[in-house]
A and B are shown apart, each in its own frame.
Chain A
Amino acid sequence: MDPVDIGLWGVPLAILAGAIRVSTPFLFVSLGECLTERSGRINLGLEGTLIFGAMSGYAVAYETGSPFLGVGAAALAGVVFGLVHGWICKFKGVNDIAIGIALMLLGTGLAFFFGKPYIQPVAPKLPSISLGGWSDVPQVQSALQVNVLFLVGAILAVFLWWMFRSTRVGLVIRVVGDSTDAARAMGLNADRVRLLSTAAGGAFAGVAGAYLSLYYPGSWNEGISSGQGLMAVALVIFARWNPINCFWAALLFGGAGALGPALQSVGVTQGYYLFFAAPYVLTLGLLIATSSPERAMQGAPAELSITK
């Protein structure tokens, strides 16, 4: 099919398509971070987990020929990183933010270390589902090529929201996140709940990495992540620790990330790097707008070190 000339309509369309494509890693990392932070810990190391997930997912998909096994391996690697973070943080006097920075460096280092042989080979990609069959315009059709993981992420967001609201597990996590003392009084093991929440959060971040290397942009290299793992931490604050909000925020960030390439596709090449910086500027702007020096942030888990 020949591309139909749709003129400047290409820009919003490309942003929409980009938002769906670019948002998935934001969505998974922010859901993972949301889960971890709800239990009262912050894991800044998810950026490292994401990069290691991208590498391990790509490597396993290449070796086995199955992209889904790759996603599984990335999730498993994420669990390991989460367990390490959760285990170290249980010791007295250890700063969870600093540990996150250390694990970010370690995860990145390990991913580059083991990932060297996989920069050249081509791994099988994750399949996508076509939701644009109703349209005759090929640009619309290609924009609505939605990856399976995006749909999984959307379902996961609703599931987490429901879990926090109406299940026992969700209540336990919220109690631990709001007051260690109350949790102890209820006979809950706060450290174990946080360990498991961080491990599950790590798994989500690993999947986000696998999406990067196995779908979009769909290759493994050392510049695969542009800080999505880090921006997701800010995104969770903006989303007020609500999984549904995380979904919308991820779409917004994805759209911002797609701005540069979308403008480039219609011939605007001036200031490419500045558009590339749009998601960071947006994140910082939202962080400034939503923070407050006087009151604790609305909806924030009380045990969280960044809000204390």
Chain B
Amino acid sequence: MANVEQPVAHPSGASTISVLMPRAEGLVIPFAALLAGSLAFSLFLLLVGKSPVTFFGLVWMAGFSTAFSWQNTLSQVAPLLFAALCVALPARLGLVVIGGEGAIVLGGLAAGVAGTQATGWPPAAGLGFMALCAMALGVGWIASIGALRIKRGVNETIASLLMAYIAIALFNHLVEGPFRDPASLNKPSTLPLTEGLRIGEMPLISAHWGVLVGILACIACWVLIERTTLGFAARIAGDNLRAAQVQGLPVGRLVVGFTALGGAFAGLAGFFEVAAVHGSANGSLIAGYGYTGILVAFLARHNPLAIIPVAILLGGFAASSGLIQRRMDLPDATILVFQGMIFVAILLSETVYGRFKIFTPAYWEVR
């Protein structure tokens, strides 16, 4: 490269590569961790007498090889994008909020109930109303966790998980009681949405609009965190809460704001599940997207842009679960085990940051 030949261009002797390599660290290490987790899982498969080659072949086939498999994968991606944002945004402030499942479920319920009120409205108004209700509930649910943390010092991890259990109990109570469609016998549901309030598929790609909205939300969050003063303040607060307070940053408002935003996205996940997939709020909403979203966010190292490819990857894993069960005679929890091993590997990889000289600018400076 031309730049390498004239390293004195920068006072410290930095060249393009000495700028790029430290950034590469954040890409290489998660990839290596993903690989290590996959290797550990392959070993596990060998131990139970199954072929890892068949397994990964099926994941490729069912998740990524054809237009049909992409359709399956993308159908999982929208809720994962939103659920991961609900983890990643508070995480940038140093908060581990992992109860997004509760906000998804209640957001879906709010959307379903709002939809029954909006029958006969113009579709745009009805859908907007449903989305607003879903987001409002998500905001209330997750922002209150942030507020409890700031006002009362309540541990947000435990509080958010407890609230997820409460949300699901509340959801079951409401769907089987006050909001139940009397015609839904075996599977208690809210009244089915009218045709105008259903969200269809995007042109060309056979995936619903939630995928696009989710991707746009990730990009917007990246801009917010990396390119605005608000995001800058949040990053400072996430690095060192005390320093941020000393600097006079509004830490409390940042925490509540970021948890609120995360909650809004979790609510949207529920909205799209109801309006685009299920057609009414019912038990299918409790699908564990909130928990897979935790893994997506951690794998992406809470970088909203990285969430997009990671969600597609994990969406593909989830989409291949059915085929793996049938072809390899493995239980449905196989994907859970795989996810768990990747999760442990990615967290373990946190310890190797800064240990490789190759990723430091100094290594590439002229010696």
Please give the residue numbers on chain A whose beta carbons come within 8 Å of chain B beta carbons, in ascending order. 44, 84, 88, 91-95, 97-99, 101-103, 105-113, 116, 226-227, 230-231, 233-234, 237, 271-274, 276-277, 280-281, 283-284, 287-288, 291-294, 306
Contact = CB atoms under 8 A, between A and B. Distances in A.
A34 to B, nearest CB: 15
Interface string B317-345: 00000000000001111111111110110
A231 B166 CA distance: 12
Contacts of A91: 348, 350-351
A277 B170 CA distance: 8
9 contacts: A88-B344, A101-B343, A237-B155, A274-B169, A280-B165, A280-B169, A287-B162, A288-B154, A291-B154
A110 B162 contact: no
Q: Which of A93, A102, A231 has the most CB of B within 10 A?
A: A102
Interface stretch (B59-67, B120-128, B144-152): B144-152
| Interface of chain A: mostly helix, strand, loop or mixed | helix
Interface of B: 96, 98, 148, 150-155, 157-159, 161-163, 165-166, 169-170, 172-173, 176-177, 291, 294-295, 298, 330-341, 343-344, 347-348, 350-351, 353
Contacts of A111: 333
B154 to A, nearest CB: 5
A94 B351 contact: yes
A305 B98 CA distance: 17
Given A105-B339, A110-B337, A293-B152, A287 B158 contact: yes
A231 B161 CA distance: 9
A124 B98 CA distance: 37
Given A273-B173, A277-B166, A281-B166, A109 B336 contact: yes
A95 B337 contact: no
Contacts of B162: 227, 230-231, 234, 280, 283-284, 287
Nearest to B173: A273
A112 B333 contact: yes
B87 to A, nearest CB: 10
| Interface of chain B: mostly helix, strand, loop or mixed | helix
B173 A98 contact: no
Nearest to B294: A101
A95 B347 contact: yes
A280 B339 CA distance: 27
Contacts of A99: 344, 347
Contacts of B165: 226-227, 277, 280
B171 to A, nearest CB: 8
A102 B336 CA distance: 11
A287 B347 contact: no
A293 B153 CA distance: 4
B155 A291 contact: yes
B148 A288 contact: yes
Given A101-B98, A277-B170, A109 B333 contact: yes
A287 B154 CA distance: 7
Given A101-B98, A274-B170, A291-B152, A94 B158 contact: no
A288 B152 contact: yes
A93 B165 CA distance: 30
Given A93-B351, A98-B298, A284-B159, A277 B169 contact: yes
Contacts of B295: 105
Contacts of A276: 169
Contacts of B347: 88, 94-95, 98-99, 102
Contacts of A280: 162-163, 165-166, 169
A273 B154 CA distance: 25
A127 B353 CA distance: 52
Contacts of B351: 91-94
Nearest to B174: A273
B313 to A, nearest CB: 17
A226 B169 CA distance: 11
A109 B344 CA distance: 13
Nearest to A84: B344
Given A88-B347, A287-B159, A288-B154, 19 more contacts: A92-B351, A97-B157, A98-B298, A105-B291, A105-B343, A106-B336, A106-B344, A109-B337, A111-B333, A112-B332, A113-B330, A113-B334, A230-B158, A231-B162, A237-B155, A274-B169, A277-B166, A277-B169, A291-B155
A293 B151 contact: yes
B331 A113 contact: yes
A97 B152 contact: no
B333 A113 contact: yes
Contact of B155 (A93, A108, A294, A306): A306
A173 to B, nearest CB: 22
Contacts of A283: 162
A291 B336 contact: no
Nearest to A227: B165
Given A94-B351, A105-B343, A277-B170, A116 B157 contact: no
